[in-house]
A and B are shown apart, each in its own frame.
Chain A
């Protein structure tokens, strides 16, 4: 089973995303929540070929542009992700 990494802080303010990407497996899922969604503000080459999930309510709330390499999900899908991956690590 692949891991789920949950990132909850902006990459412009915290090392959480960078630290996560330095050790995340290639097939792992990344879920951006809260301030973590600012990671998609730019076309980040480190993210484009990864499994990136974003809670759509959180990007919509912040008015961020839509990215083709992001899968926008709702809370139900988020719960599914937590069931489909193991272990789960939160980075903040």
Chain B
């Protein structure tokens, strides 16, 4: 399998299910195998971006996301409309990434070779 652009779409909040964690594991695995990897956070997935998480007996999802820079993850994208409807200010996000409008997300999706949703 050649060098593909894999777009991971995170639509789940961090601790209500194991999806966020499993998605991140899959993303890291893909990055280790030299695939072009980017991540889009939309819907409740933007709750993973809250920087003050203190989970009990769970890995801190936000801290895990902060480690992505070490793995050559191409780009992180955030849905502006999801952030706005949940009262999260883009300036509160500590991760390097780009906030996108719905129309920009439409374009982003079509650039992917594979879209994986978690």
Residues of A within 8 A of B (CB): 3, 15-16, 19, 22-25, 87-92
Chain A residues, CB < 8 A from B43: 15, 19
With A3-B110, A87-B109 as given contacts, are A22 and B102 in contact (CB-CB < 8 Å)? yes
Chain B residues, CB < 8 A from A19: 11, 42-43
A-B contact count (CB 8 A): 36
Q: For residue A90, give the distance in angstroms from its CB to the closest CB of chain B.
A: 6
CA distance A89 to B113 in the complex (A): 11
Q: Which of B34-68 contact A (CB under 8 A)?
A: 42-44
Q: Are B11 and A87 in contact (CB under 8 A)?
A: no
CA distance A92 to B105 in the complex (A): 18
B3 on interface, CB distance cutoff 8 Å: no
Q: Is the interface of A mostly helix, strand, loop or mixed?
A: mixed
Size category, B interface: 10 to 19
Q: For residue B58, give the distance in angstroms from its CB to the closest CB of chain A.
A: 22
Q: For residue B100, give the distance in angstroms from its CB to the closest CB of chain A.
A: 9
Q: Are A90 and B42 in contact (CB under 8 A)?
A: no
Identify the 5 closest CB pairs spanning chains A and B, nearest first: A89-B115, A23-B105, A19-B43, A87-B115, A22-B102
Q: For residue A54, give the distance in angstroms from its CB to the closest CB of chain B.
A: 20
Q: Are B106 and A23 in contact (CB under 8 A)?
A: yes
Q: Are A91 and B117 in contact (CB under 8 A)?
A: yes
CA distance A25 to B112 in the complex (A): 14
Q: Are B110 and A89 in contact (CB under 8 A)?
A: no
Chain B residues, CB < 8 A from A22: 81, 102, 105
B9 on interface, CB distance cutoff 8 Å: yes
Given A22-B81, A23-B42, 15 additional A-B pairs, CB 8 A: A3-B110, A15-B43, A19-B11, A19-B42, A22-B102, A23-B102, A23-B105, A23-B106, A23-B109, A25-B110, A87-B112, A87-B115, A89-B115, A90-B117, A91-B11
Q: Are A89 and B109 in contact (CB under 8 A)?
A: yes
Q: Are B102 and A89 in contact (CB under 8 A)?
A: no
